[in-house]
Amino acid sequence: MQSSQQRCTPLSPEDLQQRYACAQELAMQAARRALEPYRQRDSLVVSHKGDQLQDLVSIVDQDTEAYIKQRLAERFPQDGFLGEETGGATLDAQCIWVVDPIDGTSCFVNGLHSWCVSIGLMVDGEPWLGAVADAVHDELFHACNGQGAWLNQQRLSVHTAPDIAHGVMGVGTSHRRGKQHFIPFIAQLLEEGGTFIRNGSGALMVAYVAAGRLIGYYETHINSWDCLAGLVLVKEAGGVSNDFLRNHGLTEGNPLLVANPQVYAQVASMLGNALDA
């Protein structure tokens, strides 16, 4: 929890439900708006962030975040905002929207299907609700604290695998800190009979854990806009996660592990201090 978080009068159930409905509608609207440029991606202008050649940004990322940010400001002007492209504003607000306009930009610009729009909301420093919209497959993953996790209108629950040998583990890494833990983990995962997949979108992989498609997901370092919505999805689907928000995780990111309870315990023991990297 952020020490500077303002303590305000608790929001009413109606206030929270309005935000939940807005997140669902806006995430899917934004994802569907991105479909046309995705289909015409040969004309996209794509650039690199800093000196990382694999860290891409397109005009669609920027336009989509501007669209989401404007709509949220119109509906909830008192709320804070943290987005991948435009950064943070009013981060001491009671409610903070955490947005990745296109998670999986490399997939998006290369014609792969693993990309989505992720919108999460923190209330009083805690992940409260989230929506992850995959317009390519017409799938909206959504959850709100105490209301369960859903794929469109279908209730979700995490995989029942008793250990890593009974399902597929999602993994992710990048050139950011923590990458030195990736190969040792993969080697141990394979040694203990597990298998893995990496699809290029952390937000979707976390949503797949909530949906029971993956038994868990580990990423050596991920940003909050990639996983804030997913943290709510996993919790509401019966899964567990590490303390992602510790040590300025909201603004600086952290390692992430989400899984069903049995797999989480097994993988966490395998990782040791990697979750503290």
Residue 37 lies in a domain: yes
Residues 93 and 65 in one domain: yes
Is pLDDT of 64 > 90?
yes
Residues 22 and 139 in one domain: yes
100 in a known ligand binding site: yes
Number of domains in the chain: 2
Average pLDDT (233-250) is 97
Mean pLDDT taken over the chain:
92
**Phi/psi of residue 54, nearest 5 degrees:** -90, -5
Residue 4 lies in a domain: no
**Phi/psi of residue 24, nearest 5 degrees:** -65, -50
| pLDDT over 70 percentage in the chain | 92
The residue from 133, 155, 177 where one domain ends is: 155
Angstrom distance (rounded) from CA 236 to CA 3: 26
Is pLDDT of 129 > 50?
yes
Domain that holds residue 119: 13-155
In what helix (H) or strand (E) does residue 32 lie, and over which residues does it extend? helix 13-39
Which amino acid appears at position 161 of this protein? Answer: A
Angstrom distance (rounded) from CA 187 to CA 219: 15
226 in a known ligand binding site: yes
**What is the structure's pLDDT at 47?**
65
Residues 175 and 130 in one domain: no
Residue 129 bridge partners (DSSP): 121, 144
Is pLDDT of 3 > 50?
no
Residue 144 lies in a domain: yes
Question: Which CATH number do you get for residue 190?
Answer: 3.40.190.80
Is pLDDT of 7 > 70?
no
Average pLDDT (256-269) is 97
**What is the structure's pLDDT at 53?**
38
61 in a known ligand binding site: no
Pick from 25, 260, 233: which is nearest to 145 by CA?
Answer: 233
The residue from 121, 155, 189 where one domain ends is: 155
Residues 142 and 182 in one domain: no
Residues 129 and 87 in one domain: yes
* pLDDT band at residue 176 using 50, 70 and 90 as cut-offs: confident
Which amino acid appears at position 106 of this protein? Answer: S
Residue 7 lies in a domain: no
Q: How many residues does the chain have?
A: 277
Angstrom distance (rounded) from CA 277 to CA 177: 8
Angstrom distance (rounded) from CA 113 to CA 180: 28
Q: What is the pLDDT of residues 53-62, one digit of tens each?
A: 345 567 899 9
Residues 136 and 171 in one domain: no
The residue from 155, 176, 204 where one domain ends is: 155
Contact 227, 172 (CB under 8 A): no
Contact 236, 207 (CB under 8 A): no
103 in a known ligand binding site: yes
Residue 3 lies in a domain: no
Residues 60 and 126 in one domain: yes
Question: Which CATH number do you get for residue 17?
Answer: 3.30.540.10
Residues 18 and 135 in one domain: yes
Residue 44 lies in a domain: yes
What's the distance, CA 242 to chain centroid?
A: 14
Is pLDDT of 269 > 80?
yes
Residues 131 and 23 in one domain: yes
What's the distance, CA 133 to chain centroid?
A: 11
Residues 87 and 178 in one domain: no
Residues 181 and 51 in one domain: no
Residue 18 lies in a domain: yes
Max CA pair span of the chain: 52
Distances from the Cα of 90 to the Cα of 4, 5, 6, 9, 81, angstroms: 11, 10, 10, 17, 7
